[in-house]
Amino acid sequence: MHRDAVIDSVFKPVRAPTTFEETVERLGTAIRVGILPSGSQLPAERALADQLGISRSTLRHALRTLVQSGHLVSHRGRTGGTFVAERPPLAERESRRLGAEAWAVLDYRVAIETGATLLAVERASQRQTESLEELVQRMAQADRFEDYRLADIRFHIGLAEAASSPRLVEAMTEVQGRLSDLIALIAHPEEVLTHSNAQHQGLVALLRRGDARRAVRLMREHLQGTEHILMGLI
């Protein structure tokens, strides 16, 4: 494939509803495989946002995530801009190994989380729904990622508890533990956490309404967000 065509594939419009996450994945992957080589400069913010078909605010959030993860560096001034870092955070060999392991965990997570969501819509008690709402509030008020993540884990396990399935609770606890090992490898900007928790809030609302179809669809979007971030960065 001609080099220009490869570059065009990186900067083609991003699809909704995971525009932020897919932008991180698209740029992170292009950096990791060398399509965007070390030291190269990204297009100006306005031009890049137009090419990707996203808002400048979404682009800034994605670029900030990639700066925090070490994939990009930002320089100010007349000769400033956003540049690809000289050395990626992970070696290519390590990245391939982690990628294979990550997909196994993420696929397993899809089966457990969507199944738990479906049953939780059917079986959750008012007390369990209120407990999930309290965890959403705890995440919203968390000042440290560690506190956010503890409430996040408890939310997902609580969803399995609301499904009234001890086997699902065991499986959810296992998958959250394995996911934590992957999450520890990446940055956790506030924008990512805020967006993720808004989806938690939406899930609770759909549980209250008994809307299984939309709840499962929202959970899948929630999981895809994590997948895009992880695949872009590792």
Burial class for 138, CB neighbours closer than 10 Å (0-12, 13-18, 19+): middle
Beta partners for 122?
none
Neighbour count for residue 179 (Cβ, 10 Å)? 22
Q: What is the pLDDT of residue 35?
A: 83
Side-chain-side CA neighbours of 21 within 13 Å: the count stands at 19
May I ask the CATH class of domain 3-84? mainly alpha
Residues whose CB falls within 8 Å of the CB of residue 231, separated by 6 or more in sequence, listed in order: 25, 28, 29, 99, 102
Q: Rounded to whole angstroms, how far apart are CA atoms 39 and 215? A: 43
DSSP line for 84-114: E-SS-SS-HHHHHHHHHHHHHHHHHHHHHHH
Q: What is the pLDDT of residue 152?
A: 96
What does the DSSP 8-state code read for residue 40? P
> Domain-by-domain residue ranges, the chain?
3-84, 92-233
Could you list the pLDDT tens digit for every one of the 234 residues in the chain? 445 666 666 777 876 667 888 888 889 888 877 788 889 999 999 999 999 999 998 899 889 888 888 889 998 877 789 999 987 665 444 555 566 788 889 999 999 999 999 999 999 999 999 999 999 999 999 999 999 999 999 999 999 999 999 999 999 999 999 898 888 777 777 878 898 999 999 999 999 999 999 999 999 999 998 888 887 776
Domain at 92-233, CATH homologous superfamily: GntR ligand-binding domain-like (1.20.120.530)
139: phi then psi, degrees, rounded to nearest 5: -65, -40
CA distance to 16, 72, 86, 194, 219, per residue, from 112 (Å): 24, 34, 39, 23, 11
